[in-house]
Structure 1
C-alpha cells in the first residue's frame, strides 16, 4: 500500500480534530500536512506539551501526556481505525507511526 497522498483522520470525542495528508515516508514514520478541525483547540496544548517533553527527554511525564492524548483522540487510516499510534503535531505538520497491534510494554 502506498502512503503518499493518503488522508488520515485524527478524531476526538464530538468533533474532528484534523486531517493529515501524507507527503513523506521514513519507515516506520509517516509525515504530512496537518489541517486542524474544530476539535483541535481542545487538544492543541497536549500536543505542544508532548513535544517539549520529548525534547527534554522527560519520559515519565511524556508517558502521562501521551496516555492523555490517546484517551482524547484516535487515529484513523484510510481503511479504518488503528489500535495503537504515536502522533506528533507541530503547526501545520504531523508525523506518526502506528501498529495493527498494541505496542508492547517495554
Structure 2
C-alpha cells in the first residue's frame, strides 16, 4: 500500500515509529504503525493505556482518568510530527494499529 502522509513518533531525536493514516472517524485518525526497536522503551506505557481503556468510560471512569495521565506523560516525553512538521496527539498504539488527533 502507498501512503501519501506519515506521522513520526519521536522522543527527542530518536524515532520510535511511523504512523500511516488509513481511516478517519473525526476527530480520530486511525493508522498503521511501524515501530522501530526504540519503541520498546515506551511500549509498556501504551500497553497500560490500552488496558485501562478496554471498558466504557461510564463503567470505569477512574481507569480512564489514569489512562489520561499516562497519555500526558507520553506527550511530555514524545512528539508526533507529520511530514510537514505539524504536531499531532497520539491516542493509542496497540500492535500495528494506532490512533491520533490533530491539534486544532
TM over 0.5: yes
Deviation for aligned residue 1:14: 4.3
Unaligned segments of structure 1, at least 5 residues: 101-106
Residue 91 (structure 1) aligned with residue 95 (structure 2):
yes
Deviation for aligned residue 1:11: 0.6
Residue 67 (structure 1) aligned with residue 66 (structure 2):
no
Q: Which residue of 2 aligns with 1:5?
A: 4
Residue 39 (structure 1) aligned with residue 38 (structure 2):
yes
Pick 1 or 2: higher relative contact order, CA cutoff 8 A, min separation 6.
2
Q: Which residue of 2 aligns with 1:22?
A: 21
Q: Secondary structure at the match of 1:16?
A: strand
Q: Structure 1 segments of 4 or more deviating over 2 A?
A: none
* Structure-1-length-normalised TM-score: 0.79
* Structure-2-length-normalised TM-score: 0.80
Deviation for aligned residue 1:13: 2.8
Deviation for aligned residue 1:32: 1.4
Unaligned segments of structure 2, at least 5 residues: none
